[in-house]
Structure 1
């Protein structure tokens, strides 16, 4: 065995003199907290929301607080953002009389967003809106901010989330390697490419390789339940029972071609094939997935003996990343099936095994 420092230099990873992380092969982490503070300040502060409509004037003021952490990891050009932030934004509000001259009330308020996190990137966060004056005019101003300011804050937070998914302050530092065809001294394409082209032109049997569907995974699971197959089928197709064991809103059609919405609308889809007590085939789409992506869920029910049902799940075309660049979609989806669906059915309905 070679001694430390005496190995083949081709296998020794050294820091370049210029400090460059070539093609982002190694992990590179960028602290984004200060960048996030500046970015959100530009998005949220000193923005006029109402300028006299109904005698009301509302304008955002300062980013009073931004605490937590924000960072971006980059490796081989892959962006992995991470952040957990607590934000407080102040605003000023004023109400004038019907003539728009005399000021009836001038006050201030705050907007608190206690948890902006990468794990909830596809959802609007919790928001708390307060105002210093709790009288009738103050309540009117607060209601106006809720109607006008709340959507504004959500929109700007989504812009921040998108910016982080694209690399935040590290975006401009990413090295992109574009591989161009090598050219010979005469400027023509390299010999292999020319040979391939010529062979194709002469019908020389150049085979096209089938492209594999990259960036997607298939989830397979098998679960046993102490119940009849038809009972388990009914639980999965009944919206009231879904609401019961998931503690979330659900709307489920029991017809082929019918649509469904579960987990408060975060998952939507359509029934493709249904056989009572035997088979459920559905198209599933998560709201956090890139536009246009639809997966297929296939659930088969087998009752090898009375009172025992085996459910086999095949969930195909699950993207490896969501629209924000988070690479935990497959892991989270598999955990959701196990913990939020199958295990909760057992806990609520007592179907052991």
Structure 2
């Protein structure tokens, strides 16, 4: 990063979201908890990371400002029963203390036996996550503090020189690991256009992760997104689709919500998974997000958890997209068909 900032006096910001995603890929993925040979839980991937992460400098003082929401995917087994799930951390912030971190645990297709994994996760895995998150801020500063300032020999101001020395003394832990160098896809990244299009990136994008629960078998919920009469009922809008069949099939394109939403069905796995290309009509022409839905039914608890991974959402549109999905998809489906309590 090239800095032209006499005496390190002016405000300089550096966006570190990409580095943060790589950091968590390196430090969180692979954490595991082995209670004994019969019970094990492991972090398998980062599903989504939302929020801001910056390192800033002014008057020789370097500070970090970050507020992130992280969703990690887990897998494991209790005896011979295997499971998958997620842990959502709503806030990892620059002013968070280790005890401030909250963890929302979800086990897909949960049974009474698989519920035995919950105390293991709380007692063995979550302390490791707390420790990793606590080290994030100091390591962020250690890695990025120097390259947003001009070299010390170019600083003539005693005031800013003293601030810089104070920052280096207080923010760099002796036990910090070297900077993260692993190369992987960032959660905030340049989006692609419609598959096959020659156009370049249209937005910086992010990925959303949602997990609403419905009191209905997975196949019934699955059909609720494909049966055209049901879609018109819960969307309270007229569908426009070239296909005259009663249900959507792979490759079908359609618009609904008064033409404000366009979608295309691109993947199906009966009762298990649906993937749509999805866009708002006020997004830039050619930009599509990918709305993937995985259906996890717990027959013991008579419910289906819908795991939604929504990639390609333009940065700045996250709250709008999440709110619209919860209101116009989840809440409306529950109200229309009685598939669960409405909060």
Flag whether TM exceeds 0.5 (same fold). no
With normalisation by structure 2, the TM-score equals 0.42
Relative contact order: is structure 1 or structure 2 higher (C-alpha 8 Å, sep ≥ 6)?
A: 2
With normalisation by structure 1, the TM-score equals 0.40
